[in-house]
Chains A and B, each alone.
Chain A
Amino acid sequence: MKSYPLESVEYQGRQYSECSASIDEESHQAEFLHSKGLGSKKLVSIGSLSFDDRTEVRLEGKTIKAGPWAIVASSETDAAGIMKLLLKPKETRAKLAGEIFEVEKSVSSFLKLREEGINFLIKLLGDPRGVSFGLSSSWSSPNMGPVEEFLTNQAMNLSSALRDINSAVAPLVGKVSEEKVDRIYAFVYATAMLQNSLLAGGESRGDAEGMLAELGIRLPSSSWVDTQAAYASLMQIAHPILFSGEPPSVPKN
């Protein structure tokens, strides 16, 4: 709870002087008080404001307009302090949206990278020598063959991409439910199994699709798996389901 002396408060057409504000940043409640009479030390409540991320808040000099309230702080420094508290829900939500964006970005990158790897393997099975020879410009290791080197690098990149997912998910813990966090990994796993099924002649595809369905994610069509170039785009379909009730993801500034 923080208190600030105020020069004045205007609320519902009435002007109050010798006021103060008590702001609880946990419960997002602000109470405005004023002296009962001239020279009186007794404070009475004018009213309170419940603020959240949708509350309109504006600062003009020392004056803050928050919903139906217009308050004049005793200094510009105090005005900035009050503004900061009132804007906190908006900032928290924006921060969460940014964090969700980072999770989705990292999941998409992981799935895209994995998709490239699966496509590589599909090509390798169809034309092993053509694929191997196609690596001539990138192959550099004397200890590994070109295909082996590519797959080793791919595993390293995937490992790094998975670490990125873990790092991106970490800030969400405590902010969204544990179940939601688990569902992110379940989504990654099921989608990867769907990718694997392309190699195994469709084996386990039904199980992977079933698991996505259990998560509430339905593929746009049954042929989608074979035709869709970017598995990463599945994240867009998954977003409203995995993060229902959470803010839409936005890039961090």
Chain B
Amino acid sequence: MPRCSNGHEQMFGLKCTACGLPLPYKNACADLVSLPKVLPDYGKVSVLFVGLQRFPTTADYSGFILAKDAEAQTIDSFTAEKTHAGTWLDFYARSSGDLRRWLRLVAFDGSRCRFVIVDTTNPLSVMAIASLPLERRTTILAVTADKDSTPLEQNTSYVALSVALKRNFGLLVFSQGFVRDLLLLPEGRSFVSQTDAFSRIVESLIENFDAATEFVERDLNLGVKLHLASAIVSGSSRVYGKTGNVFAAQSYQLDIKPQDTKTMYSLISCEKEVGQDFEKSFSQFRSRRFKAVLSADCRVRERASSELFDVLTFYGVPEEGVLETIAGGYNEVANRVPELKVASVA
């Protein structure tokens, strides 16, 4: 800012309004080399899909990582070149540098929170998770291999999960079997496909991004990184009866053992009238079945008049249990190809 020889500062004008002396502007021009500070708005939510069919979301930014015959980059997609061998290590070794650069170019870390929706049985998953910027408020929604998956899928999933845990990301885990069996009856009363059903789960998560991120961050502070997740989309009281049955059905579906459970959270979208019912039921269910959990919470988001509700519940559990279920396939592959081990990822 210009200043007269008496030291009076003034933003504009050729003469000092305080003492009438001329205002020299030469020194003030030095301030002009810095452009004004601006705060670009990268939006509230970024979503990155890895190895999954793309579907539209309400996120401020959606990016996709996929593999095709030729490498390409656009503002919303990173395409790695397919390899002949096609293991996670090939993609990781060849394209993770480019992916890291692309993620910075599209400012994936710019939004207030980030979700990575990843099929961890897909060979792109390891490269994707290893390349993510290390930012808090990044939640990975992972579809994992299960007992029915092939050893190679289990190996890939095991490495992807291990890398995510090592890099301290919060994880919500759906098993491949859960996603495979997804079928729902939405408001239109006709069955929808597995992908559509999964997209509804993701959308439910994005709609509740603040609460979901808050819960995952809280757990990271408690040292709980991994959560088993279950979702009921377009549920109705005609099917479930009392709202408390929804939580019981979900814990039963996941085969959750109270002694192994560290935390539990629910994100509920329902009409206003049943919101309080859900909150009460969640509290009762926790006191009855999961009294010893470190943290429990639920958030209800009102939706326009509809008898149907969405409930996404996730339980913080020890990491070892989930990894154990797929360790067999991981070891089987790693014994044959020693490079396909977690240690190969820097």
**Do A130 and B14 contact each other (CB < 8 Å), given the known contacts A114-B32, A179-B22, A185-B25?**
no
Count how many pairs of residues, one from A and one from B, have CB atoms less than 8 Å apart in the complex. 101
Q: Once the chains bind, are A186 and B14 in contact (CB under 8 Å)?
A: yes
Q: Once the chains bind, are B38 and A136 in contact (CB under 8 Å)?
A: no
Min CB gap A230→B, angstroms = 17
**B contact residues around A128 at 8 Å (CB):** 40-42, 107, 110
CB-based nearest B residue for A127: B40
Q: Once the chains bind, are A155 and B35 in contact (CB under 8 Å)?
A: yes
Contact with B along A230-247 (1 / 0, CB 8 A): 000000000000000000
Q: Is B343 an interface residue (CB 8 A)?
A: no
Bound complex: CA of A37 vs CA of B28, how far in Å?
68
Q: Is B104 an interface residue (CB 8 A)?
A: yes
**Do A125 and B33 contact each other (CB < 8 Å), given the known contacts A130-B75, A145-B107, A189-B2?**
no
Q: Is A207 an interface residue (CB 8 A)?
A: yes
Min CB gap B79→A, angstroms = 14
**Do A129 and B75 contact each other (CB < 8 Å), given the known contacts A155-B35, A186-B14?**
yes
Q: How many residues of A contact B (CB 8 A)?
A: 46
Min CB gap B206→A, angstroms = 17
CB-based nearest A residue for B63: A129
Min CB gap A207→B, angstroms = 4
Q: Is B34 an interface residue (CB 8 A)?
A: yes
Interface of A is mostly: helix
Question: Which of B33, B35, B75 is the one whose CB lies under 8 Å from A118?
Answer: B35
CB-based nearest B residue for A188: B29
Q: Most B CB atoms within 10 A — which of A118, A121, A186, A210?
A: A186
Bound complex: CA of A162 vs CA of B26, how far in Å?
10
**Do A196 and B25 contact each other (CB < 8 Å), given the known contacts A129-B42, A132-B105?**
no
Q: Once the chains bind, are A121 and B36 in contact (CB under 8 Å)?
A: yes
Question: Which of B13, B36, B40, B41 is the one whose CB lies under 8 Å from A196?
Answer: B36
Contact residues of B between 56 and 89, Cβ < 8 Å to A: 61, 73, 75
CB-based nearest B residue for A190: B12
Contact residues of A between 159 and 186, Cβ < 8 Å to B: 159, 162, 165-166, 179, 182-183, 185-186
**Do A193 and B25 contact each other (CB < 8 Å), given the known contacts A128-B107, A154-B35?**
no
Question: Which of B25, B40, B105 is the one whose CB lies under 8 Å from A182?
Answer: B25
CB-based nearest B residue for A144: B104
Q: Once the chains bind, are A124 and B38 in contact (CB under 8 Å)?
A: yes
Contact with B along A184-213 (1 / 0, CB 8 A): 011011101100100110001001101100
Q: Once the chains bind, are B107 and A129 in contact (CB under 8 Å)?
A: yes
Question: Which of A121, A133, A190 is the one whose CB lies under 8 Å from B106?
Answer: A133
Contact with B along A87-126 (1 / 0, CB 8 A): 0000000000000000000000010001001100100110
**B contact residues around A16 at 8 Å (CB):** none
CB-based nearest B residue for A120: B35
Bound complex: CA of A147 vs CA of B106, how far in Å?
11
Top 8 nearest A-B pairs (CB, nearest first) are A128-B40, A185-B25, A158-B33, A207-B12, A159-B33, A186-B25, A192-B32, A189-B25
- Using CB atoms and an 8 Å cutoff, list the residues of chain B in contact with chain A: 2, 11-14, 22-26, 28-30, 32-36, 38, 40-42, 61, 73, 75, 104-107, 110
Give 19 pairs: A residue, B residue, CB < 8 Å, sorted on A. Answer: A110-B32, A114-B32, A121-B38, A129-B61, A155-B33, A159-B33, A179-B22, A185-B24, A185-B28, A185-B29, A186-B25, A188-B32, A189-B2, A189-B32, A192-B32, A199-B36, A200-B36, A211-B12, A214-B14
- Using CB atoms and an 8 Å cutoff, list the residues of chain A in contact with chain B: 110, 114, 117-118, 121, 124-125, 128-130, 132-133, 135-136, 139, 145-147, 151, 154-155, 158-159, 162, 165-166, 179, 182-183, 185-186, 188-190, 192-193, 196, 199-200, 204, 207-208, 210-211, 214-215
Given A128-B107, A129-B110, A200-B36, list of 13 further CB < 8 A pairs?
Answer: A110-B32, A124-B38, A132-B105, A158-B32, A159-B33, A182-B22, A182-B24, A186-B14, A186-B25, A188-B29, A193-B12, A207-B12, A214-B14
